[in-house]
Every structure is written in C-alpha cells, then in structure tokens.
Amino acid sequence: MARILGVDLPRNKSMRIAIRALYGVGPKIGVDVLSAAGIDLEKSSNDLTEEEVNSIRGVLESYTVEGDLRREVGLNIKRLKDLGCYRGIRHRKGLPVRGQRTSTNARTRKGKAVAIAGKKSIKSMK
C-alpha cells in the first residue's frame, strides 16, 4: 500500500483515480503529476514500487497540497472573519457564502431543522 504525504492511497484502483485521495489533487493535477513522474495512468495502486512512490513525492513538492493547502484555506477564511466583511459574517454564522438562497435549501450549511414542541393545552394537563 502506497503512502504519500501521510495519506494511504486506496487499494485496487488505477493511479489516475487513487492519487485523488490527496487533498488538493483533482483530475488535472493528478494526471500532470503522474505523467511528470513517468507512471502509467492505468497502473494499479497495488503495483507501485518504492522508486515510483518517491518520484510522485518529488513531483508533488512543487504543488500546494494536503496540510499546507488546508492551512492556507483556513487562514483565508479566518482573515475574512476578522475583517468582518460580508463573506466573513456568512462564514461566522454558518450560512451559504456564495449567494445561494436560504429560505428553502442550504441544509448543508445550516444543518437539519429541529422541530420545536408546541405548548401543551390546558385540557391535556388536567
């Protein structure tokens, strides 16, 4: 099993898919990294040798991925919150940031609605 940048690559997948398990590596960057490292795109992740893993690590050093990218994104969001700009306020409140409607959708950001119990009638309390 290949381990790159602290992430175990999925087993029994072609390398073009398996390399996407790294945060910040999508289809385009994945293909670019594999071609620069000289690895066949359809090669299984189980069949990687140690030299091939090291060549992938070497190519990935020129990209911002995993921990550095997470830190950068987190600092950008923190900067927006500290500025108090519109986007920062939306981040603080946990609401959609990019102009989506919130009256009917936005369940991902707002969370699941919890029903509030109504007042019990006086008759049922007696």
For residue 112, the model assigns a pLDDT of 83
DSSP code of residue 61:
T
Rounded distance between C-alpha atoms, residue 40 and residue 15, angstroms: 8
Average pLDDT, the chain: 90
Domains of the chain, residue spans: 3-62, 67-110
Give the tokens for residue 7.
Answer: 């992430």
**Residue listed under structure tokens 């940031």:** 97
**Topology (CATH) of 3-62:** Helicase, Ruva Protein; domain 3 (1.10.8)
DSSP code of residue 123:
H
pLDDT in tens, 59-92: 999 999 999 999 999 999 999 999 999 999 999 9
Query: Over pLDDT 70: what percentage of the chain?
Result: 90
For residue 111, the model assigns a pLDDT of 84
Give the tokens for residue 9.
Answer: 């690559």
- Same CATH topology for 3-62 and 67-110: the answer is no
**Topology (CATH) of 67-110:** 30s ribosomal protein s13; domain 2 (4.10.910)
pTM over 0.85: no
